[in-house]
């Protein structure tokens, strides 16, 4: 029988604690490329992310989600940094369940140190992704579902200095205020 309560942590304001993962290939010509996972069933593209279980440390959740969603181990990556605090987004009304109204996320920047052939999606019975690609740094803002765009912009800005010490890459031609606002 399943538990009667959520194993995830939801704060008193209704935000579910979550980790987000920006995985890069590192410096050089590939420094601006980030991992983008294609959601099962063609339901869009996003960064790996997932809930923090009740009593679980944030960094432990990071590595658990890394393994569950894309099959990588702690030894396959180098932790470059994280956002200082929580980044929040609200769910549209039609996605609100029980008392969870949105996510509060701690974002981590990881560098892949293993061969990319280690990426796999069969570590859980219900995979999140069924395909993936390397994308230019700002592309995830355009690819993610609209209600997560602002948090992606904040995470990429907050973490970008760790891989772009001389300044973030220029915004692409498609960038506009409308690409970062809720619709």
Q: What is the pLDDT along the chain (183 residues), one digit of tens a residue?
A: 344 445 678 999 999 999 999 999 866 555 689 999 999 998 899 999 999 999 999 999 999 999 999 999 999 999 999 999 999 999 999 989 888 999 999 999 999 999 999 999 999 999 999 999 999 999 999 999 999 999 999 999 999 999 999 999 999 998 875 555 544
| Confidence (pLDDT) at 43 | 83
| Confidence (pLDDT) at 111 | 96
| Confidence (pLDDT) at 42 | 85
pTM of the model as a whole: 0.90
What would the CATH number be for the domain defined by 15-179? 3.90.79.10
| Confidence (pLDDT) at 32 | 81
Q: Which residues contact 170 (CB under 8 A, 6 or more apart)?
A: none
Element (H, E) at 127: none
Residue 107 in contact with residue 82, Cβ under 8 Å? yes
DSSP 8-class letter at 150: H
| Confidence (pLDDT) at 51 | 94
Residue 118 in contact with residue 72, Cβ under 8 Å? yes
Which alpha helices (DSSP H) does 104-162 contain, by range? 139-143, 149-160
3 state SS of 33? strand
């Amino acid at each position: 029988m399943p538990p009667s309560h959520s194993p995830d942590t939801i704060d008193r304001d209704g935000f579910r604690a979550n980790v987000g993962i920006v995985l890069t290939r590192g410096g050089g010509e590939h420094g601006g490329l980030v991992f983008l996972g294609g959601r099962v069933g063609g339901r869009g593209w996003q960064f790996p992310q997932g809930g923090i279980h009740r009593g679980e440390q944030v960094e432990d959740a990071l590595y658990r989600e890394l393994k569950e969603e894309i099959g990588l181990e702690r030894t396959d990556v180098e932790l470059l940094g994280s956002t200082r605090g929580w980044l929040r987004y609200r769910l549209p009304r039609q996605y609100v369940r029980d008392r969870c109204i949105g996510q509060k996320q701690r974002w981590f920047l990881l560098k892949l140190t293993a061969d990319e052939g280690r990426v796999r999606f069969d570590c859980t019975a219900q995979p999140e992704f069924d395909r993936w690609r390397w994308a230019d740094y700002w592309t995830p803002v355009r690819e993610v579902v609209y209600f997560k765009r602002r948090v992606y912009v904040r995470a990429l800005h907050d973490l970008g200095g760790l891989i772009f010490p001389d300044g973030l890459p220029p915004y692409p031609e498609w960038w506009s205020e409308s690409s970062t606002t809720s619709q």
